[in-house]
Amino acid sequence: MKFSEMPYQRVDRDETIEKLTALLTRAKNAQSGEELFAVHEDMYKVRADIMTNIVIASIRHGIDTTDEFYEKEQDYYDMMLPELENYMNMYQKVLFESPYRPYMEEKIGPVAFRNIEIALKAFDEKLIPSMQEENALTTRYMKLLANAKIPFNGEECNLTMIRKYMTDGDRSVRKAAWKAASDYFLTVTDEIDEIYDKLVKLRTEMAHIMGYKNYVELGYYRMNRNDYGREDVENFRKQVKESFVPFATRLHEDRRKRLGLDTLKYYDNDMYFPNGNPAPTGTPEEILLAGQKMYHELSPETSEFFDFMMENELFDVYGRPTKQQGGYMTFIENYKSPFIFANFNGTSGDVDVITHECGHAFQGFLTRNDPIREHADITMETAEIHSMSMEYFTYGWMKDFFGDRSDDYLTMHLADSAIFVPYGCMVDEFQHVVYENPDMTPKERKALWKELEHTYRPHLDYEDDPFFGEGGWWQRQQHIFNSPFYYIDYVLASVCAMQYKVKMDENYKAAWESYLKLCRLSASDFYRNELKAVGLNSPFEDGTIKELVEALEKKA
């Protein structure tokens, strides 16, 4: 069904609680494994109905954050979702403690039960008021950024629209654009500090309610980390500091020389070529059509996928003044439909949507008919491999998007991907320190960010910018507010995707078959087991990062 034709009906709180209560009672009273699994299949249907309507409302709210109807629906779900999570938590506890657990584990898999165990550690009914407040705070932050009004070049830009000027080939233009963005953030930085301060203290209080020392442990449980812990992440960051930071620093020096500059300034941070970064040659509509041609040629599976997306209007990618910032892929359960949300702005990032977000969507499409819905509960460090790897698998079609600057794009993309790794680790370490020290003042948090930048991004020179130069950059990073500890998953996945880049240069067909296998595995096994099954090295193993950097050194 076309997205515009999908009906929406508010999820009625009382009616839904009645349905969930009835399923809970049936699960408790089940007299066999077969009977319990039949209840579980009914739960799939109820949950699909709930999430279908919630996802549709969320998408439509993001499409226009000033739409009063969907704004009210979003506020409604901000309050309701924690209550629903409570009932799901009670249901999962019944499964976990059931005498028929061995039968259920055989049906839905050991990963599902490990996830249930984690969910029970991450949630308690006592957290509901705090979670409702948390949702309201993150919605407030997102609306604040979505409604940014930045006067520049005779037009009123939001944070997405000004990006094209921040990467302009004229250095004076991009400097002015960065200054305009900095000026905007100076007007809202105190409010953002207030929001984040409340979030940190609120999440710390939630951790204390659950009996944890601080939010770090609870945050890992809420991220459903079912195959690794903070010690693994710390060792990974250590390897990145040792191997990737020097590599990234060398890539920045290559940029400086290519740009013909004496020193790199912060407004040069995203620039790769003196004549400007490569931008798509076509209109947004032409980019989508070029994507359709690309996926037709890539494989039968991707051809079917992209036609499905286009025919059913499952892209909303055009930038608009009151549209939510950022981009994502989500899944509309009852229609077995991935949906891609983005903000095209005339930069190479528009093409990245057609590769990265389509990598997510392709995996969802490929496994949409799996009857065991727990297999769709992919942890993020795995899910992001699907998206980031697709960026590399589509390298051969970049001429269709960038014309005679396709080689420039490939140079930029590989370097940008490598440079991202230290940045992503910095975001993660920042959050660990903040949640281990929840009483830090806003000024101390900015000082912390500034200090970490010296470690992870030593090339940066902010001149005397009063916002970015004083440790304010993190306030632009939405994941820090909305999804604590998510960001390291991008880095872990990026390292695996780069391994696919190395493999596809050696044998493209074998690399693609490995990728399809990983997509089809979905969440049927644990992260490290899946990596091993498809021939990828775990980012946590000593030597993985060093070996990868050595291979990339020959290409970048």
Per-residue pLDDT, 345: 87
Is 327 inside any structural domain?
Answer: no
**Dihedral sign, CA of 439, 132, 188, 462?**
positive
Tokens 């940045």 found at: 423
The stretch 153-161 carries a mean pLDDT of 91
Is 46 inside any structural domain?
Answer: yes
Is 129 inside any structural domain?
Answer: yes
Buried b (16+ CB within 10 A) or exposed e, 215-225: bbbbbbbbbbb
| pLDDT one-digit tens code per residue, 440-482 | 999 999 999 999 999 999 999 999 999 999 999 999 999 999 9
Q: Is there a contact between 333 and 48 (Cβ–Cβ < 8 Å)?
A: yes
Q: Is 167 exposed, middle or buried (0-12, 13-18, 19+ CB in 10 A)?
A: buried
Tokens of 318: 């055009």
Element (H, E) at 156: strand 155-157
Q: Is 102 exposed, middle or buried (0-12, 13-18, 19+ CB in 10 A)?
A: exposed
**What is the model's pTM?**
0.90
Is 74 inside any structural domain?
Answer: yes
> For a pLDDT cut of 70, what percent of the chain falls above it?
100
| Helix residue ranges per DSSP H, 169-214 | 171-209
Q: Is there a contact between 416 and 248 (Cβ–Cβ < 8 Å)?
A: no
Per-residue pLDDT, 378: 93
Per-residue pLDDT, 232: 97
CA angle (90, 94, 100) in 5-degree steps: 165
Tokens 């440079």 found at: 419
Cα separation, 417 vs 546, whole angstroms? 16
DSSP 325-378: SS-EEEEEGGGTEEEEEEEE-SSTHHHHIIIIIHHHHHHHHHTTT-S-GGGG--
> For a pLDDT cut of 90, what percent of the chain falls above it?
95
| pLDDT one-digit tens code per residue, 278-328 | 999 999 999 999 999 999 999 999 999 999 999 999 999 998 888 988 899
Lowest mean pLDDT among 36-50, 239-253, 311-325: 311-325
Is 117 inside any structural domain?
Answer: yes
Cα separation, 136 vs 106, whole angstroms? 39
28, 369, 417 from 85: Cα distances, Å: 18, 25, 36
- 3-class secondary structure, 157: strand
Angle between helix axes 68-97 and 33-63 (nearest 10 degrees) is 160
In the predicted structure, residue 175 carries a pLDDT above the cut 70: yes
Instruction: Give all strands (DSSP E) within 203-286, no chain letters.
Output: none
Per-residue pLDDT, 205: 98
Pairing status of strand 328-332 against strand 337-344: antiparallel
- The number of folded domains in the chain is 1
Tokens 């040659």 found at: 281
Cα separation, 263 vs 205, whole angstroms? 45
Is 28 inside any structural domain?
Answer: yes
Largest CA distance in the chain: 76
CA angle (269, 273, 277) in 5-degree steps: 80
Tokens of 41: 């299949």
The stretch 135-149 carries a mean pLDDT of 93
Angle between helix axes 380-393 and 487-506 (nearest 10 degrees) is 40
Element (H, E) at 39: helix 33-63
Q: Which domain holds residue 106?
A: 3-133
Q: How many residues does the chain have?
A: 556
Is 118 inside any structural domain?
Answer: yes
- 3-class secondary structure, 318: strand
Smallest Cα–Cα separation from 63: which of 285, 319, 349? 319
In the predicted structure, residue 555 carries a pLDDT above the cut 80: no
Per-residue pLDDT, 556: 62
Tokens of 202: 């609120």
Average pLDDT score over the chain = 96
Is 85 inside any structural domain?
Answer: yes
